[in-house]
Structure 1
Amino acid sequence: MIKSAIMTSADITGKNGKPIVDQLLQPYNLFATDAGVVNPAVALNPGLVFDIEPNDYISYLCRLGYSDKQISAITSSSISCSSYPEQTDLNYPSITVSLDSKGMEITTRVLKNVGHHVSVYRVSVMEPPGVKVVVTPSVLRFSASSKVQNITVMFQGELGAGSSYASGFLKLTSKHNVVRCPLLLVSSSTGSSNHPTRSVW
């Protein structure tokens, strides 16, 4: 939750309001800036967080093909992958998708409200070039009795010729908070088709 708060509240521009630049004064790409520049004051009140439970990591490691023995060594407890549901992705505050010849991938995320009890967030997307991103639902409503909401993110299209990756971000905006989730799309030849929605941060 702390990592999510730091990433989703990070600044994606410099103090001058312009993109962060490198030593040649050219905008840095996503691999250099990651989620952005940490803003500790804003991170203290992130509004929404992408939470992950310990068992989610175990399920994901099982999905990646690690053996019971290897995972047991990591967790210092006896683990049997047959006892865990298949976890194809982690509920991480960034999304990486590998697009193959189909040009479509779908992933999900779960958002937990840790801000104002009654909040409405509207979703907008800075789409990666050449790819359409559809988020469902486009409006999230939270209350004291409804603190968790799921979203489905569909990517459709293909990267331009000669492009190995493209980036963008989701933005969820309420009256009090702005929550950003970086998006990274890689070509199927660059990414791993076995783990199409793994995160890189």
Structure 2
Amino acid sequence: MACPHVAGLAAYVKTFHPDWSPSMIQSAIMTTAWPMNASETGYASTEFAYGAGHVDPIAALNPGLVYELDKADHIDFLCGLNYTSKSLKLITGEAVTCTGKTLQRNLNYPSMSAKHSGSKTSFTMVFNRTVTNLGTPNSTYKSKIVLNQGSKLSVNVTPSVLSMKSVNEKQSFTVTVSGSNLGPKLTFSASLIWSDGTHNVRSPIVVYNVGN
């Protein structure tokens, strides 16, 4: 039932903001959702089951910041997944040539996730993101990291403060996540929250082990 509910919510947001793109609406819904935790589901590692959390229709109308995506971003993502030119043409309707290899985790998506295949080895993963200011001009957003229960992550955000001078201004930042001893089929997770005192723009962060 999540799909029709979220589709209805997207349509609701669109009526208030007809100029917003699908990725802006998606970002608004995800980053304003109420966080969930494992105790609400009964399972220890279910971040991929409940996603960004409980949607909040009212909060989604005024998200503050959004993560935007366009066609080129999706093409770069598919190139990073080693899609062939033939497959890309079927999807995009045009001839596409991949230039270089784009890391999949750098898709400008409202959440951040990456896999780690070694249970005993340490890891460091970097995520690059860009946000667009839909709030007010002359606003300052400060970053905050919240670790979920049991997570053994070190998360660094650079820069840790974003000063937005105007509406629709874009600013980029880097999230560096490190840790070790991530057991097989387990996850470490956290949340990055950008707050200006009015808006709380939350992005889930998940590192998971693909080992047996």
Q: Give 1:154's match in structure 2, choosing from 164, 176, 181.
A: 176
Higher helix proportion, which one?
2
- 1:68 paired with 2:85, answer yes
Match of 1:199 in 2: none
Q: Distance in 2 between matches of 1:116 and 1:19?
A: 35
Q: Distance in 1 between matches of 2:49 and 2:68?
A: 25
C-alpha spacing 1:156/1:127, structure 2 compared with 1 (3 Å):
same
- 1:164 paired with 2:186, answer yes
Q: How many residues align?
A: 182
Deviation of the 1:19 alpha carbon: 7.8
Q: C-alpha offsets along residues 86-121 of structure 1, whole Å, 9 cap, x if unaligned?
A: 432210000002245341111111111011112111
Report percent identity of matched pairs: 31
Larger RCO: 1 or 2 (CA < 8 Å, sep 6+): 1
Q: Distance in 2 between matches of 1:46 and 1:71?
A: 33
- Normalised by the length of structure 2, the TM-score is 0.77
Q: Distance in 2 between matches of 1:146 and 1:48?
A: 9
Gap runs ≥5 in structure 2: 1-23
Match of 1:174 in 2: 196
Match of 1:5 in 2: 28
- 1:33 paired with 2:33, answer no
**Amino acid corresponding to residue 134 of structure 1 in structure 2:** N
- 1:126 paired with 2:149, answer no
Q: Distance in 1 between matches of 2:84 and 2:56?
A: 39
Match of 2:124 in 1: 104
- 1:186 paired with 2:203, answer no
Match of 1:115 in 2: 135
Q: Distance in 1 between matches of 2:39 and 2:34?
A: 10
Gap runs ≥5 in structure 1: 191-201
Q: Does the Cα contact within 8 Å between 2:189 and 2:206 map onto a contact in 1?
A: yes
Q: Does the Cα contact within 8 Å between 1:119 and 1:142 map onto a contact in 2?
A: yes
- Normalised by the length of structure 1, the TM-score is 0.81
Q: Does the Cα contact within 8 Å between 2:184 and 2:210 map onto a contact in 1?
A: no
C-alpha spacing 1:188/1:20, structure 2 compared with 1 (3 Å):
closer
Q: Distance in 1 between matches of 2:210 and 2:115?
A: 5
Match of 2:5 in 1: none
